[in-house]
Amino acid sequence: MVLIAAATAYAVNYSADQAWSDLQQISPIAIVVVALLVAMVLDLVLPRRAQGPVSAAITVIGLLGSLVAALALIDRGHTAYYQFAVADNFAVFFDVLFAVLGILAVAVSHAYLARRNFLQAEFYVLLLAATAGQMVIAQANSLVSIFLGLELLSIALYVMSGFARKDFRSQEAAVKYLLMGGFASAFVLYGMALVYGATGTTLIPAIAKSLGPGAGTNALLLLGILLMGVGFAFKVSAAPFQMWTPDVYEGAPMPVTAFMSVGTKAAAFAMIVRVFATGLPSLNGEWAALLAFVAAASLIVGNVAAIAQTSVKRLLAYSGIAQAGYVLVGVIAGGADGQASVLFYLAAYLVMNFGAFAIMVVLARPEGDRDRIGDLDGLVYRNPVLGVLMTVFMLSLAGFPPSVGFMGKFFLFAAGVHHGYTWLVILAVLMSVVSVYYYVRVVVHVWTPVDAAERRLRLPAAAGLAIVAAGVLSVALGIVPAALFGLAQAGAVPVAGVGGG
Amino acid sequence: MSDITIGNEHLDASWFLILAALLFIIGAIGILIRRNPLVILVCIELMLNAVNLTLVTFSRQLQNSEGQLFALMSITVAAAEAVVGLGILVDIFKDREVEDVDELSELRG
């Protein structure tokens, strides 16, 4: 009876004005979904040859619209849909990041899809679905909406990683990702169910409020945190739950790898910060200990395993595991500075990591991706722009000044030391010294002289524009980090009682 | 409060939670020890349904509809995941019979 009464009360109180105001709060997601539907319908009516360019155009227009809608929400957002969604600056920061990622992904994939003779419209529809999922995670304010966004993202990515249907390796990547991802989702969901059982609510701010002084001894709650932590670590590809990452990255078509390497990581970190830092602030000690273990394991496993790799995709996959470790340092540090450093680093990771993968996309041939490290030999002589930019991206990932990667690591480690995780920062610094070896190994291949017979590499215009933009940002944001760091600080979720000292 | 009444039977809610936990563990063990991708997919569904049982039990226990809402969402998600999962498996089965996920080993290094 109570349930029915509650449902009726909701129905009566929900006015058209309220619906309009709620819709405005989630307009970045709504625009992406509308673009998705339009692209899907046009795919049915348009002749085959027009499908690719038209759906690419719709995707870019939709993502640009979503970007503008997100920017319009800065400082004006509030909760919507009975607090199930929120458009605070934290959410807006990630919305913008995901819209930019989507646009870059379209620019890079367009020529690739045509060259490898893939279905084009379907690819863009899936890309939009995955982007919508990422944005739902960013704007989620309840465990329910986080789970929905996570699955929307994951299910779209399962299909995308198997997009090269005739390629055994792509099929294998899809199956592995599906089975591991489903397993991880079940853990996340069970963890959420236990947290709901312990606190009586799925709304993240309400969870934070419900935590009393005895929360640290509530077995149900702690088990829930542990299970969610395991599931999140899977999604963010942190050790010891990273084993799917290299295989899926290697098997998936290159633009998909580029998209998911940044997209899933940023979305999973949005989820971790939202649930742990905002939802469970008074249990900071418990989840920080769990994440500190995961961070240390990721730093060691990622950096050590990357050394021996001969495939650039696998090398960047292990590098991504290590990078997850660096970002976790900022999450564990917490406080406004820790969270700002996390946001800053994720934006930096977008430009440098996507840039590196985008160059590998351009190298692909009609019969498949070329991801042996030897395929990069003499890149700088075959195409000077790509060669120089690959060098920039690798040095930025390694954390050389004056790149954005250096500034990002500096902010992360400063926050870590400030909040008393000096041991973890020392480990991270030592491990980033190790990482220099394998990043520089790529650079050495790029600058190795080759026979003049090796023909020059043609660079498609859209992909070239995206790669150059990423390269310029990688350097510019390293020299003048203040603008981006200001945005990251504005986006950090203010959390009472965490860190702060 | 924590009693759940079905007809004339009264059962403590914790029994439902224990059953759900057992189902979840059976599913997790199944994923770890079975090698057939279809069976693994079934095990994932078992885990998700165990969580649904947990959610509705808590919802009943707490007299709070959010858990039921969550369970409905998760049922929908599980259906979508099963559709995509079966699609991917059918696609791969057309090219080769995969009875053991360990046969999927082109990617390593």
Nearest CA in chain B to A251: B107
Q: Does domain B3-96 have CATH number 3.20.20.140?
A: no
In terms of DSSP H, where are the helices of A200-253?
Answer: 204-210, 219-235, 244-251
Residue with tokens 């759940």, as numbered in its chain:
B4
Q: What is the mean pLDDT of residues A232-249?
A: 91
Each residue of A421-436: pLDDT tens digit?
Answer: 999 999 999 999 999 9
**Which stretches does DSSP call E strand in A109-266?**
none
Calculate the alpha carbon distances from B67 to A3, A148, A168, B59 in Å.
Answer: 11, 14, 41, 5
* Test the B interface: residue of A4, A147, A179, A221 with most B CBs within 10 Å: A179
Omega prior to A481 cis, within 30 of 0: no
Q: Which of A178, A192, A202 sits opposite B88 (nearest CB)?
A: A178
Q: Categorize the per-residue pLDDT at A497 as very low, low, confident or very high, splitting at 50, 70 and 90.
A: very low
**A176 to B104: CB separation less than 8 angstroms, yes or no:** yes
Sign of the dihedral through C-alpha B51, B57, B60, B63: negative
All residues at 6 or more sequence positions from A9 whose CB lies less than 8 Å from its CB, including other chains: none
- For residue A106, the model assigns a pLDDT of 96
- C-alpha distance from A317 to closest chain B C-alpha (Å): 12
Winning range, highest mean pLDDT, from A79-83, A155-159, A243-247, B58-62: A155-159
Distance in angstroms between the alpha carbons of the first and the last residue of chain B: 56
Each residue of A166-193: pLDDT tens digit?
Answer: 888 899 999 999 999 999 999 999 999 9
Q: Categorize the per-residue pLDDT at A496 as very low, low, confident or very high, splitting at 50, 70 and 90.
A: very low
Segments making up each domain of chain A, as ranges:
16-491
* Test the B interface: residue of A148, A178, A180, A371 with most B CBs within 10 Å: A178
Q: What is the ipTM of this complex?
A: 0.94
- Residues of chain B found within 8 Å of residue A6, distances taken between Cβ atoms: 65
A6 touches chain B (CB under 8 A): yes
- Listed by number, the residues of chain A in 320-339 with a beta carbon closer than 8 Å to a beta carbon of chain B are none
pTM (two decimals): 0.93
**B104 to A172: CB separation less than 8 angstroms, yes or no:** yes
- For residue A452, the model assigns a pLDDT of 62
Give the other-Cβ count within 10 Å of A455's Cβ. Answer: 7
Q: What is the mean pLDDT of residues A397-411?
A: 94
Nearest CA in chain A to B21: A190
Omega prior to A402 cis, within 30 of 0: yes
Q: Which of B64, B70, B106 sits opposite A200 (nearest CB)?
A: B64
Q: Could you give the CA distance from residue A129 to residue A271 in angstroms, rounded to a whole number?
A: 18
**A175 to B89: CB separation less than 8 angstroms, yes or no:** yes
Q: Categorize the per-residue pLDDT at A77 as very low, low, confident or very high, splitting at 50, 70 and 90.
A: confident
- Residues of chain A found within 8 Å of residue B31, distances taken between Cβ atoms: 179, 183
Residue A58 buriedness (CB in 10 A; 0-12 / 13-18 / 19+): buried
Q: What is the mean pLDDT of residues A192-221?
A: 91
A309 touches chain B (CB under 8 A): yes
3-state secondary structure chain B: CCEEEECCEEEEHHHHHHHHHHHHHHHHHHHHHCCCHHHHHHHHHHHHHHHHHHHHHHHHHHCCCHHHHHHHHHHHHHHHHHHHHHHHHHHHHHHCCCCCHHHCCCCCC
- C-alpha distance from B6 to closest chain A C-alpha (Å): 16
- For residue B109, the model assigns a pLDDT of 55
**B92 to A171: CB separation less than 8 angstroms, yes or no:** yes
Which residues is A203 bridged to in the sheet? A142
Nearest CA in chain B to A174: B88
- Residues of chain B found within 8 Å of residue A204, distances taken between Cβ atoms: none
- Residues of chain B found within 8 Å of residue A313, distances taken between Cβ atoms: none
Q: Could you give the CA distance from residue B61 to residue A474 in angstroms, rounded to a whole number?
A: 53
- Residues of chain A found within 8 Å of residue B87, distances taken between Cβ atoms: 159
Q: Is the pLDDT of residue A450 over 90?
A: no
**B88 to A173: CB separation less than 8 angstroms, yes or no:** no
**B44 to A201: CB separation less than 8 angstroms, yes or no:** no
Share of chain A above pLDDT 70, in %: 95
Q: Categorize the per-residue pLDDT at A152 as very low, low, confident or very high, splitting at 50, 70 and 90.
A: very high
Each residue of A307-340: pLDDT tens digit?
Answer: 999 999 999 999 999 999 999 999 999 888 999 9
Each residue of A23-71: pLDDT tens digit?
Answer: 999 999 999 999 999 999 999 999 888 888 999 999 999 999 999 999 9
Which residues is B10 bridged to in the sheet? B5
Q: What is the mean pLDDT of residues A485-493?
A: 88
- For residue A12, the model assigns a pLDDT of 61
Q: Which of A147, A197, A310 sits opposite B73 (nearest CB)?
A: A147
- For residue A498, the model assigns a pLDDT of 36
Range of weakest confidence among A126-140, A142-156, A373-387: A373-387
